[in-house]
Structure 1
């Protein structure tokens, strides 16, 4: 069982993006559109691979968003990423962890990019410790949807992709896993994801 983190074990940042845009009178979906444009080599991708520092990310994201219609500083977007942990998904992970190998592949940011929320940080660390293996994009210089990051996970866990289930909230990240032979679950809500996990595993997860 291989999991994404943000938007799966936590709430999606998309609602925070929408609220931010509304409050600032920005064009709808400017943050998501900036993230999606040239998504393999844009500022966001480079920052998640730790190829650039926060100052460079701030400037590049501003330039990329301006090209799409409105300048948004990269630094202003970073605090919007901290979703709340979904306790029901954490409970499902714990139950699955008792029966199956588990891994987490997360596109994340270099340490301290967002700033510390100490209580939350400790809880996130506790959740991360549940996994048999965690791959963080900022630590290895690879990010989803690069097929190599999925291959690295199955090799580390010593499992066949055809015996794996992969969960993510983004379709673009599910495609390489599916092409490798994994069963994929697109997480729209915790309830929907848990139902599909129960069907895939035969376990009671709530």
Structure 2
């Protein structure tokens, strides 16, 4: 199809899904499975999570607001506990794919909904992990973070911002995200959207889209 750029989500694509960490936390606290996702899906544009990802509130405000939202849904969990489990495990095969794509001449971008307390959806909690994350982010030509841009997915503006920064049309791009709600606006703009359900599936679908064998070293 002649794609020239590949744009990645971070958490759930480059790293394992934060939802896995949420489920572990829920099990530890005796909460219903996917309760945290339910909180985040309630009033998704104005809830604590949305406000924090747009940097409209600080960590302490998020902690209190998230706890209030949880109580309104019948259970107790503080916002800081959720933030503390966000760091995801890097998928090495995805990082190798970034290098292969770059060597083949593809432009690389990253659009991540994140919060002001860390870099990327997999927020580094130690100096070593921070350095590792920075090395991954350095592979992208442009990175747009919701907490810095003041806009978050699935708002179409954040995808348009990336196209403007790369100086290309949406139809030139492949976009990967683990959330279907974030893939829909990308596809509507003309991007080839890939919903990520696993690292291997993502690399297989991306290989077909760009004409490279990204599974060779997976």
Give the TM-score range, shorter chain: over 0.9
Q: Which residue is equivalent to 1:180? A: 189
Q: Structure 1 unaligned segments of length 5 or more: list them.
A: none
The answer as to 2:25 corresponding to 1:16 is: no
Q: Which residue is equivalent to 1:35? A: 40
Q: Which residue is equivalent to 1:110? A: 116
Q: Is this contact kept in 2: 1:108–1:136, CA < 8 A?
A: yes
Q: Is this contact kept in 1: 2:124–2:130, CA < 8 A?
A: no
1:14 deviates by: 1.2
The answer as to 2:128 corresponding to 1:119 is: yes
State the alpha-carbon separation in 1 of the partners of residues 57 and 46 from structure 2. 12
Q: Which residue is equivalent to 2:150? A: 141
Q: Which residue is equivalent to 1:94? A: 99
Q: Is this contact kept in 2: 1:27–1:70, CA < 8 A?
A: no
1:116 deviates by: 3.0
Q: Which residue is equivalent to 1:45? A: 50
Q: Structure 2 unaligned segments of length 5 or more: list them.
A: 1-5
Q: Which residue is equivalent to 1:203? A: 212
Q: Which residue is equivalent to 1:166? A: 175
1:7 deviates by: 0.5
1:22 deviates by: 1.2
* Count of aligned pairs: 206
1:179 deviates by: 0.4
- The alignment's C-alpha RMSD in Å is 1.3
Q: Which residue is equivalent to 2:3? A: none
State the alpha-carbon separation in 2 of the partners of residues 68 and 199 from structure 1. 43
The answer as to 2:78 corresponding to 1:73 is: yes
State the alpha-carbon separation in 2 of the partners of residues 196 and 7 from structure 1. 16
